[in-house]
Structure 1
Amino acid sequence: MDIIAFIGFLALVIIGIAIVLFIVRLIWMLLPAALVAAIVFFLTFDLWWTGMAFLAIAVLTVVWKILKK
């Protein structure tokens, strides 16, 4: 096996794992916002308020994570 191909393969595997972990972390971070948005949607059936609720909770979650560090 060619050593350069093996190093390239390892680099691509590491990049792939990093992308998957980033996506999972992003979904985990936006889960509370999605839950609140779903509750607001089922209470109001209005996409405007659903979007506002999602955006507000998403921003609060990001600010909370920033201030927590």
Structure 2
Amino acid sequence: MDKWLAMPFNGFSLGLPAVYDLAILLLLVVVGLAIIILLVKMLLFILPAAVIAFVVWLLTGSLFLAGVAFLIVAFISILKR
């Protein structure tokens, strides 16, 4: 067990040269940022429809009408773009 403690930790690597590890890291960062940007755009697209649907649900208590309101507002926002 002591031999495991004495081994130096060189980090997690794929066994590739450092330049390739850095290139893979940068690629993964770019992909992650693209996913985050897409999620934020989708949230901003859905938010107005969700707010209107929530207000309709509070006023009527009907999930059906809230769903219809959500679909109508989402459709209008698609046409607006």
Q: TM-score, normalised by structure 1?
A: 0.89
Work out the number of aligned pairs and report it: 65
> In 2, Cα distance between the equivalents of 1:63 and 1:18?
24
Structure 1: runs of 5 or more not aligned? none
Give the residue type in structure 2 aligned to 1:43.
Answer: L
Q: For CA contacts below 8 A with separation 6 or more, give which structure has more relative contact order.
A: 1
Structure 1 vs Structure 2: percent identity of aligned residues?
32
1:56 CA displacement: 0.8
Q: Which residue of 2 aligns with 1:48?
A: 64
Query: Which structure 1 residue ranges, 4+ long, deviate > 4 Å from structure 2?
Result: none
SS in 1 for 2:43: helix
Q: TM-score, normalised by structure 2?
A: 0.76
Q: Which residue of 1 aligns with 2:18?
A: 2
The structure with the largest helix share of the pair is 1
Q: What RMSD over aligned residues (CA atoms) do the two structures have, in Å?
A: 1.0
Structure 2: runs of 5 or more not aligned? 1-16
The higher radius of gyration belongs to: 2
